[in-house]
Amino acid sequence: MCRRPRRGGRWAAAAARGGRSLAVFAKMADFLPSRSALSGCFPGCLLTSTEAEQQRKSKEIDKCLNREKTYVKRLVKILLLGAGESGKSTFLKQMRIIHGQDWDRTAREEFRATIYSNVIKGVRVLVDAREKLHIPWGNPDNQNNGDKMMAFDTRSTMVAQGMVETQVFLQYLPAIKSLWADNGIQHAYDRRREFQLGESVKYFLDNLDKLGESMKVIKHSEQILKTALISKNTQLVKLYENLESREKCLLNEAFQPDSVLFRPITLHSESDWISSHPEPTQDFEQFYNDPYRSRPTSQKSAIYVQPIGSFGDTKVSTEDYMKWLKDYCEAFYYGLSVKILEPVPVSHTSCAFRVNEYTCNLQIHAGDLLKYLKKKKPEDAFCIVGITMIDLYPRESWNFVFGQASLTEGMGIFSFARYDSDFYSASYKGRLKRVKKLPSADYSVFDGYYTPVISSLLLLRSCKTLTHEIGHIFGLHHCQWLQCVMQGSNHLEESDRRPLDLCPICLRKLQSAIGFHIVERYQALLGWMDEDRSGMDAELRNEATMGLLKPVEAFKECREWVLKCLDVLQK
Ligand SMILES: [Zn+2]
Ligand SMILES: [Zn+2]
Contacts of 462-465 with CB under 8 Å at 24 or more apart are: 462/325, 462/387, 462/416, 462/419, 463/325, 463/328, 463/329, 463/332, 463/500, 464/495, 464/498, 464/500, 465/402, 465/403, 465/414, 465/416, 465/419, 465/495
Distance 487 CA to ligand 1 centre (A): 7
Tell me, in angstroms, the distance from the centre of ligand 2 to residue 400's CA: 27
Closest CA to 332 of 483, 188, 511, 487: 511
Looking at all shown ligands, the one closest to residue 405's CA atom is 1
Q: What is the mean pLDDT of residues 393-410?
A: 88
The answer to whether 179 touches 123, Cβ cutoff 8 Å, is yes
CA of 277, nearest ligand number: 1
Q: Are 390 and 384 in contact (CB under 8 A)?
A: no
> Stretch 303-323: mean pLDDT, rounded?
83
- Closest to 136 (Cα-Cα) out of 183, 169, 192, 195: 183
CB-count burial class (<10 Å; 0-12, 13-18, 19+) for 31 = exposed
- The pLDDT score that the predictor gives to residue 13 is 34
Of the bound ligands, which one is closest to the alpha carbon of residue 284?
Answer: 2
Q: Are strands 265-267 and 362-365 parallel, antiparallel or unpaired?
A: unpaired
- Taking the C-alpha atoms of residue 514 and residue 522, their distance in angstroms, rounded to an integer, is 15
The structure's pTM equals 0.70
What is the reported pLDDT for 22?
32
- 479: nearest Cα among 283, 297, 200, 252: 283
Share of the chain above pLDDT 70, in %: 84
Is the pLDDT at 38 greater than 80? The verdict is no
Give residue 488 CA to ligand 1 midpoint distance, Å: 5
| Nearest to 158, CA basis, from 199, 112, 198 | 112
* Residues whose beta carbons lie less than 5 angstroms from ion ligand 2: 479, 484, 486, 503, 506
Tens digits of residue pLDDT in 386-395: 999 999 999 9
Summarize the confidence of residues 395-407 as an average pLDDT.
87
Query: For residue 25, what pLDDT band results from cuts at 50, 70 and 90?
Result: very low
Residue type, 569: L
Cα 198 to middle of ligand 1, angstroms: 41
Q: Cα(173) to centroid of ligand 2, in Å?
A: 27
pLDDT digits (tens, 9 = 90+) for 304-313: 999 999 876 6
Half-sphere exposure of 365 (CA within 13 A, CB side): 15
Give the span between the Cα atoms of 125 and 346, in whole angstroms.
59
Q: Report the separation in Å between the CA atom of 478 and the middle of ligand 2, taken as the mean of its atom positions.
A: 7
Q: What's at 307, amino acid-wise?
A: P
Amino acid 213: pLDDT: 64
pLDDT digits (tens, 9 = 90+) for 260-292: 899 999 888 777 888 888 899 999 999 999 998
- Which band of pLDDT confidence, cut at 50, 70 and 90, is reported for residue 14? very low
* Phi, psi of 392, rounded to the nearest 5 degrees: -115, 155
Count how many Cα atoms sit within 13 Å of the Cα of residue 566 in the half-sphere of its side chain: 14
Q: Tell me how far the alpha carbon of residue 170 lies from the centroid of ligand 1, in angstroms.
A: 27
CA angle 167, 461, 400 (to 5 degrees): 100
The answer, yes or no, to whether residue 537 has pLDDT greater than 50, is: no
Whole-number Å distance, alpha carbon 476 to ligand 1 midpoint, is: 9
- Cα of 485 from ligand 2 centre, angstroms: 7
Mean pLDDT throughout 506-514?
97
- Which ligand neighbours the alpha carbon of 508 most closely? 2
- For the chain, the average pLDDT equals 82
CA-to-CA distance for 539 and 333, rounded, in angstroms?
A: 34
Q: What is the pLDDT of residues 77-126, one digit of tens each?
A: 888 888 777 778 778 778 777 776 666 655 666 677 888 888 999 999 99
507 or 27, which is more confident: 507
**Span from the CA of 465 to the centroid of ligand 1 (angstroms):** 8
pLDDT at 39: 33
pLDDT of residue 512 exceeding 50: yes
Q: Is 233 in contact with 184 (CB distance < 8 Å)?
A: no
**Helical axes 518-530 vs 556-569, angle rounded to 10°:** 150
What ligand is nearest to the CA atom of residue 281? 2
Proximal ligand: closest to the CA of 467: 1
Is residue 299 within 8 Å of 387, Cβ to Cβ?
Answer: no
Helix boundaries (H) for 135-288: 142-150, 157-160, 166-180, 183-190, 201-206, 208-211, 222-230, 234-241, 245-251, 273-276, 284-288
Question: What pLDDT does residue 173 have?
Answer: 87
More confident residue, 441 or 320: 320
Res 6: pLDDT: 38
Look at residue 131 and tell me whether its pLDDT is greater than 70: yes
Residue 36 has pLDDT above 60, yes or no: no
Residue 498 Cα, ligand 1 centroid: separation in angstroms? 12
Ligand 1 centroid – CA 468 distance (Å): 6
5 pLDDT exceeds 60? no
- Ligand lying nearest the CA atom of residue 506: 2
Query: What whole-number distance in Å separates Cα of residue 37 and Cα of residue 140?
Result: 86
**Worst-scoring range by mean pLDDT, 128-142, 155-169, 199-213, 362-376?**
155-169
- Asked if the model's pLDDT at residue 330 lies above 50, the reply is yes
Question: How many angstroms does the Cα of residue 290 sit away from the middle of ligand 1?
Answer: 18
- Each residue of 455-494: pLDDT tens digit? 888 999 999 999 999 999 999 999 999 999 999 988 887 8
- What distance in Å separates the CA atoms of residue 413 and residue 565, rounded to the nearest whole number? 32
The ligand placed nearest to the CA atom of residue 477 is 1
pLDDT at 20 over 50: no
Q: How many angstroms does the Cα of residue 296 sit away from the middle of ligand 2?
A: 20
Active site residue ranges: 469
Distance in Å from the first CA to the final CA of the chain = 63
Distance CA 65, CA 13 (A): 13
Segment 155-185, tens digit of pLDDT: 776 777 778 877 788 888 889 999 999 999 9
pLDDT value for 313: 64
